[in-house]
Amino acid sequence: MSQQPLKTLPDLDQVDTSNVQGDIYPGFPKRNEDFLFFVIRDQAKFKQALKNPDFKPTTTADVFVLRQEIKDAKSRQAVGLVPMALMNIAFSRNGLNALGIAESLNQTDSDDPFEQGQLDNAERLGDPGQIGPGGFDPHWDQEFKSRIDGVFLVAGESIESVNGKVAKIQAIFGDSIGEVLRFSGAVRSGANKGHEHFGWFDGISQPSLKNVPGAPPPQPGPEQISPGIIICGHDGDPVSTTARPEWAREGSYLAFRKLKQLVPEFHQFLVKIQFQKYPIVSMVVSFRAHDCLDAGQPEPLSS
């Protein structure tokens, strides 16, 4: 009598890649990206727009498929870039309130930074500013001091793809939202292609997550980490799953910071102090300041 093979039980901590937004993990492949900050003007119209079948945030599963398409195109030496128009959405505490969602994302901590908002924490973050009649007033762009309910993250292989996607979003949501600020960015070109805007090789500090079906093999260097460090409600989440509302599972946090990185100025500094006469010393100074070399290697891989 033959014995039936035992069925493999599902891993309860596996990440549902169709339920996680793709820029949370593994991140959008992109040449251009826009951040469209908005306020909700009409709750009913906005909720209806969210249900529009043409409004579909790009998921982790979508990004895995797209990255494979890019890899295949490179192997074929295809001409041009793979066309793409990717989109994610994030809400502030004000935005959740505007939608009638009052539940805290961390019910064990009344001082949770997300619940307070970044503006209220600007002094604790060390942002420059001054004490005024209303308390600490950070030297922020005025738009970020005003109410912001959410942001659309729109990315693509070209400005045209990004603009086209933004136009579709604006058509879907119409007057249910008001635009606060549109912020555009692009990857670096020429010799700096593939490097983060601070100058380091892109992706070296991007950890791979455990229990993500369909994920490519991890890159050498950073160890795999528990998914809950980035994705809410999974193993490694510093907040107990019972302290988060069920709808927050497989979401994450987005912190938007506009900082002056001064990359050319830093390189000029190395020249000015004449470390360029001794390249290894220059590299060590750069490493000591930022914990990695321009090529991206962390210390264990740089010797």
50 phi, psi to nearest 5 deg: -60, -25
Model confidence at 207, pLDDT cuts 50, 70, 90, reads confident
Across all residues in the chain, what is the average pLDDT?
Answer: 86
Judge whether 151 and 256 are in contact, CB under 8 Å.
yes
Residue 258 has pLDDT above 50, yes or no: yes
Rounded mean pLDDT, 87-98: 98
Rounded mean pLDDT, 153-169: 98
Sheet bearing 150-156, strands edge to edge:
85-91, 150-156, 32-40, 177-186
How far lies 212's CA from each of 227, 254, 258, 266, 284, in Å?
Answer: 8, 20, 31, 38, 36
Q: Examine the residue annotation and report whether 13 is marked as an active-site residue of this protein.
A: no
| Annotated domain spans of the chain | 32-186+226-261
For the chain, what percent of residues have pLDDT higher than 90? 66
Residue 7 has pLDDT above 60, yes or no: no
- At residue 299, the pLDDT reads 46
Judge whether 125 and 258 are in contact, CB under 8 Å.
no
How many whole angstroms from its chain centre is CA 116?
Answer: 20
Q: Which residues, other chains included, contact 222 with Cβ-Cβ below 8 Å and sequence gap of 6+?
A: 204, 205, 206, 207, 208, 298
Rounded Cα–Cα distance for residues 51 and 58 (Å): 15
- At residue 204, the pLDDT reads 60
Tell me which residue of 196, 193, 191, 192 sits closest to 206, measured CA to CA: 196
Rounded mean pLDDT, 156-173: 98
For the chain, what percent of residues have pLDDT higher than 70? 82
DSSP annotation of 36: E
Rounded mean pLDDT, 142-157: 97
Judge whether 140 and 115 are in contact, CB under 8 Å.
no
- At residue 234, the pLDDT reads 95
- Is the preceding omega at residue 83 within 30 degrees of 0, hence cis? no
Rounded Cα–Cα distance for residues 254 and 23 (Å): 10
What is the residue-wise DSSP string for 148-212? --EEEEEEESSHHHHHHHHHHHHHHHGGGEEEEEEEEEE---GGGTTB-TTSSBTTTT-PPBSS-
pLDDT, one tens digit per residue, over 9-60 is 445 589 999 999 999 999 999 999 999 999 999 999 999 999 999 999 999 9
Greatest extent of the chain over all pairs of C-alpha atoms, in Å: 85
Rounded mean pLDDT, 103-128: 93
Rounded Cα–Cα distance for residues 64 and 253 (Å): 21
- At residue 269, the pLDDT reads 77
Model confidence at 281, pLDDT cuts 50, 70, 90, reads low
Model confidence at 288, pLDDT cuts 50, 70, 90, reads low
Tell me which of 16, 112, 202, 235 is the catalytic residue: 202
